[in-house]
Structure 1
Amino acid sequence: MLTVDFDRLGVRAGDRVLDLGCGAGRHAFELYRRGAHVVALDMDAAELENVAAMFAAMRDAGEAPADATAETVPGDALDLPFPDGSFDHVVAAEILEHVPRDERAIAELTRVVRPGGTVAVTVPRWWPELVCWALSTEYHEVEGGHVRIYRGDALLAKLRRAGLRPFHRHHAHALHSPYWWLKCAVGVNRDDHPLPGLYHKMLVWDIMRRPWLTRTAERLLNPVLGKSLAIYLRKPVTAADGSAGAGAATRDRDGERVARGA
């Protein structure tokens, strides 16, 4: 289940991509399949071990191009272990809501993407998340849980202050919002309750089969009910960056117009 649209982000085979706070690796695996040079970073050693094992299994099964690479790196979003401009793209999916010093993390991901490169940031959408917090303290008051609820404009302002320029945004996973409301209503740790259990089975069926009916329903509902907000941004090319090209600067200006019209 992907939140980021990699075509929108502009990922091509051979690009170097950081999956920041990769978690279980869902975005990193798709990037690897697309032929990118993927670096999956997380603070959770157990998660990284599982992600590394999956990378190895994908290599053995021929699920990624032979010239693609994938590695795991333990690290902190507040102090990334990479030089400036190391990546063509950075993905930060459902991570900033966990970070108390989010502006520091935003500054770091901006630093490591090259001028002209792109960034995708996704967070839980404000109003579906607000419902979850209202229904359950267990949902967010756990170690490593969500520390804030983002309004889209407030997040955009932080990303702009870091020097990034938005060019598109969308919402995703509308069918998942009711599932989390049910979980919060009956107890997030009540795995035995039939209501969220049945809904979860439907979600798994949808992910595996991708039937026309539910895919169409989610696409139509995403603008209203989408669980996640995804924002796509570009790091501008400046005169100090040399000859990265007028074309990149033009794309930045176009991106600004798209973002304001969204």
Structure 2
Amino acid sequence: MTREFADDPTGRVDLSGSAALVTGAGSGIGLACARRLATAGCLVHVLDHDEHAATAAAAEVGGRAHVLDLVDESGIARLPAEVDILVNNAGLQHMAPIHEFPTDVFTRIQRVMVTAPFLLMRHCLPNMYVRGWGRVINISSVHGVRASADKSAYVAAKHALEGLSKVAALEGGPHGVTSNCVDPGYVRTPLLEGQLAAQARSNDIPEHEVAERVFLRHSAIKRLIEPEEVAAVVGWLCGPDSDYLTGAAIPIDGAWTAR
């Protein structure tokens, strides 16, 4: 079974009648994705651990707010399962060399960025299979295919998410469900801003030099990515032109991974 899409002369995808669940949707990439999907006519379930952010974002996009720390596995079972689109976006960062990295922080990052996406897929995929159409979109990172020092937990989690996404693609294909990763480089988000001090310490440079000397060092396009640019790819992945694209990782990295 294939989903019918209305023609739109502007090229935008029409998702009227669809529902999406977006994690980490209170700010940054998640909020941009929620906006993009809502503009396409989708009912967006906005999930964030920050109640104020979730409520504000849901009110803005006309969606429904869900407040949950994704470390709480039991809470995932209470989320809506009848969604057509799952966007696994929530993430966190901590920087330290491996021999100094706190074990509890490493474990928390894996639970939020690997275990939670697995549980959400397990929660939502059966209903997608019944309807014969669905989209699983995992916001990975260039760090899903590359490594950086002092980011052991984040790099390990993103590499794991890439593998999980491929398995979901293999299993979901016969049911009309695709699974892909979107792999941006450095995006202008609160998560990125929180790295400035740590990156300055790690590289022994002033904070004002971090963007140019660290974030953009490997990119041929010398600017940060905007959250809306990531959301545009997410929107396209939900449309009819991407029906045969699955098990892929789409780089939005200014040619970082072309090196």
**TM-score, length-normalised on structure 1?**
0.51
Between the aligned partners of 2:235 and 2:13, the Cα distance in structure 1 is 15
Query: Separation in 2 of the partners of 1:39 and 1:260?
Result: 24
The partner residue of 1:123 within 140, 152, 160 is: 140
Q: What's the CA shift for 1:155?
A: 2.6
> Alpha carbons of 1:115 and 1:261: their partners in 2 closer, same or farther (altered >3 Å)?
closer
**CA gap 1:109/1:140 in 2 versus in 1, 3 angstroms:** farther
1:33 to 39, 42, 46: 39
2:87 pairs with 55, 76, 91, which one?
A: 91
Alpha-carbon distance in 2 for matches of 1:93, 1:192 = 30
* Amino acid in structure 2 at the alignment position of 1:164: G
Question: Using a 3 Å threshold, how does the CA distance of structure 1 residues 17 and 260 change in structure 2: closer, same or farther?
Answer: closer
- 1:158 maps to 2:167: yes
User: Equivalent residue for 1:4?
Assistant: none
Bigger radius of gyration among the two: 1
Alignment of 1:1-262 (within 5 A): 12-24=15-27, 25-42=31-48, 44=49, 46=50, 48-56=51-59, 58=60, 69-75=62-68, 78=73, 79-82=76-79, 84=81, 86-95=82-91, 98-99=112-113, 101-102=115-116, 103-111=118-126, 113=128, 114-126=131-143, 129-131=146-148, 134=149, 136=150, 139=151, 148-150=157-159, 154-160=163-169, 163-165=171-173, 167=178, 169=180, 171-174=182-185, 186-187=200-201, 193-197=207-211, 203=223, 207=226, 255=244, 258-259=245-246
Q: Which has the higher strand share?
A: 1
Amino acid in the other structure paired with 1:88:
D
Aligned to 2:16, the other structure's residue is in SS state coil
Relative to structure 1, is the Cα distance of residues 203 and 260 closer, same or farther in structure 2, using a 3 angstrom cutoff?
closer
Going from structure 1 to structure 2, the CA distance change for 1:11 and 1:188 (only over 3 Å counts) comes to farther
How much is the aligned-residue C-alpha RMSD, in angstroms? 5.2
CA distance in 1, matches of 2:204, 2:156: 23
1:3 aligned residue = none
Question: Helix, strand or coil for the counterpart of 2:164?
Answer: helix
Contact 1:99-1:147 at 8 Å conserved across structures: no
Q: CA deviation at 1:40?
A: 0.6
Aligned length: 197
Query: Aligned partners of 1:168 and 1:159: how far apart in 2?
Result: 6
Distance 2:12 2:66 in 1: 22
Contact 2:180 2:248 in 1 (8 A): no
Q: Which moved more, 1:189-198 or 1:23-32?
A: 189-198
Question: Structure 1 stretches of 5 or more lacking a match?
Answer: 1-6, 59-63, 219-227, 235-247
